[in-house]
Amino acid sequence: MKRKQFAPFSALIFSAVWLLLFIAGRDRLFRDPGTFFHTAAGERLLATGQFIHQDHYSFTRFGEPWIAQQWLGEIIMAVIHRIAGLDGLLTVTVSLIALLWSGLALRIERSGMNLAMGSLILALALAASSHHLHVRPHILTILFMTLVYSRLCDVESGRKSMAALLWLIPVFIIWANIHGGVLGGIFTLLVAATGWTLARLLGLKSPLSDRRSLTVLWIVTFLGFASPLVNPYGLKLPLTWMEIMGSDAVSELIQEHASVLTLLRQGDMTSYVTIFVILSLGLFYLALLAGTKRHDWRFTWFIPMVWFLLSLSRIRHAPLFAVMAVVAIAEIFPCCRWVQMLGERGLVTFRLRETVRERLGGVVVILPAVVMGIALVAFHGSAQLPSSGQKWVKLDGTHWPTEILPELQAIENSLPRGTPIFNDMLFGGFLICHTPGLRVFIDDRCELYGDELITKYVKAERTDFEAWLEAYRFDLAILTADSNYSKYFEGNPDWRVVKSCPAAVLYRKIAVRNR
């Protein structure tokens, strides 16, 4: 007799993930400067009603060509911020992540996997992704990638027809205007299309049963490649993505773009945990795959292996591998011979449950909308509060210069608009959002600053700093507590400390030059 559940597994996972991230994320999900920059860029897009084609935020690249490559995601962030401030951004971000994990939980439940083991797999995937869970458009790339890969698995398993792939085209178009991660989705589609086509030509098992399905598949693939061109910037948008991906400075110096070997060499302890979890999840996935019979293989089962290797080359791909691995594990688990053997020998953990095939229950569909709606209503009015004084979000004062912000804003109001301020890269987006009257030295728009400036910034050599000081004549500087540039300001009689806090030190030149 089938045991009645107290609540759907997916609803329980949604609730657990939502509460965990809502509590832990009030400060930890706001540690990326992109959160502030994307919101500020979205506000500019809304205020002016025009697309951005040049830099307005820095003094080193002011007026040079630059496009808001994540413009749609930035507008969405700005609208949410206008409604409920940073509290609203946290609510929507946490709700999207929890909704994604509840969808993964549904696939786990339908596989017949023991729910305790399924919970462990979902926890590993969340841990592998935690390094990159921030309030920014990249969250939607993780969500869209899961949708794309899940649909490919459904088509190959026969649960969906080849025509069901047509809906990927509008998804790719929307995705391309939100985040450049759409390239990963298109690449995944191409890998599947190539594998299915080769399998059909070689007489192997393939979902391409006739010429019509083959034609539909390659039409979708072709339109998928063309979809990123449907944007207000045309060819400039994909070219910007390629420029970022091809940058040597970005891959070597920016942590989230770095390889596993680079992170291990740098000795970042949080990266050790991420790498351990990725390897654990990857080994379980590979063990399941190795335990299946060849005639049961499906080509989509091997695609996460590609993303496993990509996550080792760039750690930012780890969340994409993690969610795809969960989908693949749910597909492979019932077909694995050693799972079946252990289940038959009485190990409850590996005994297959009765699979669930019914439609989504009302609680699974309604719960996310109700929770997010209630939270947004509760946080209405947060938009009128300072970012450091939100109803729930608490910016980490050891990471962001929140204690210095009042003095910094007072200086901003006393100086001409466009006054330059030298800053560490971490603070670029924060300053752009909170002190728009100042122009920053650098922020994390790597495609704007180029490899040469980024490399010089990281090396922090005196000759480069003195050249910048002479060229731009800045009289303000804000540095992280452990900045490599502190040695040029400490003990220098031309500069005085305005205020310091655990996160930063604000300097001002004593003899202000005439502008």
- Each residue's pLDDT tens digit, 44-81: 999 999 999 999 999 999 999 999 999 999 999 999 99
Q: Is residue 2 part of a domain?
A: no
Q: How far apart are CA 135 and CA 139, in angstroms?
A: 7
Identify whether 213 is part of a domain: yes
Instruction: Report the number of distinct structural domains present in the chain.
Output: 3
Between 90 and 383, whose confidence is greater? Answer: 90
Task: Say how far apart CA 94 and CA 126 lie, in whole Å.
Answer: 12
What does the pLDDT average to over 219-227?
Answer: 95
pLDDT tens for residues 93-133?
999 999 999 999 999 999 889 899 999 999 999 999 988 89
Domain membership flag for residue 491: yes
Shared-domain flag, residues 129 and 208: yes
User: What is the C-alpha separation between 133 and 129, in angstroms, rounded?
Assistant: 6
> 355 falls in which pLDDT band (50, 70, 90)?
low
Q: Give me the residue label for tokens 């070689």.
A: 202
Question: What pLDDT, on a 0 to 100 scale, did the predictor assign at position 312?
Answer: 78
Alpha-carbon distance of 436 to 443, in angstroms, equals 13
**Assigned domain for 454 exists:** yes
Is 194 found in the same domain as 105?
A: no
Q: Which of 291, 325, 353 is the last residue in one of the domains?
A: 353
- On whether the CB atoms of residues 328 and 301 are closer than 8 A, the answer is yes
Residue at 399 is within a domain: no
Which of 363-372, 437-446, 506-515 is predicted most confidently? Answer: 437-446
Q: Answer with the residue of higher pLDDT: 102 or 1.
A: 102
Residue 505 is predicted with a pLDDT of 94
How far apart are alpha carbons 74 and 388 in whole angstroms? Answer: 21
Provide the CATH number for the domain around residue 497: 3.40.190
**515 lies in some domain:** no
Residues 6+ apart with CB under 8 A from 190: 221, 224, 225
Asked whether residue 141 falls in the same domain as residue 208, the answer is yes
Does one domain contain both 118 and 257?
yes
Do both 197 and 339 map to the same domain? yes
Task: Answer yes or no: do 208 and 347 share one domain.
Answer: yes
**Is residue 242 domain-shared with residue 326, that is, in the same domain?**
yes
> Please, which pLDDT band fits residue 477 given cuts at 50, 70 and 90?
very high
Same domain flag for 139 and 240: yes
Provide the edge-to-edge strand list for the sheet that holds 476-480. 438-440, 419-423, 476-480, 504-509, 495-500
Q: Tens of pLDDT along 246-265?
A: 777 666 666 666 566 666 56
Q: What CA–CA distance (Å, rounded) separates 28 from 108?
A: 28
Let me know if residue 478 belongs to a domain.
Answer: yes
Average pLDDT estimate for 416-429? 95
- One domain, residues 248 and 177: yes
Is residue 212 domain-resident?
Answer: yes
What is the span of the domain harbouring residue 326? 114-353
31 and 107 in one domain? Answer: yes
Residue 216 sits in the same domain as residue 182: yes
Say if residue 135 is in the same domain as residue 278.
Answer: yes
Q: What residues have CB less than 8 Å from 40, skipping those under 6 apart?
A: 57, 429, 432, 433, 436
How does pLDDT run across 158-189, given as a tens digit for each residue? 999 999 999 999 999 999 999 999 999 999 99
For 453, other C-beta atoms within 10 Å of its C-beta total 18
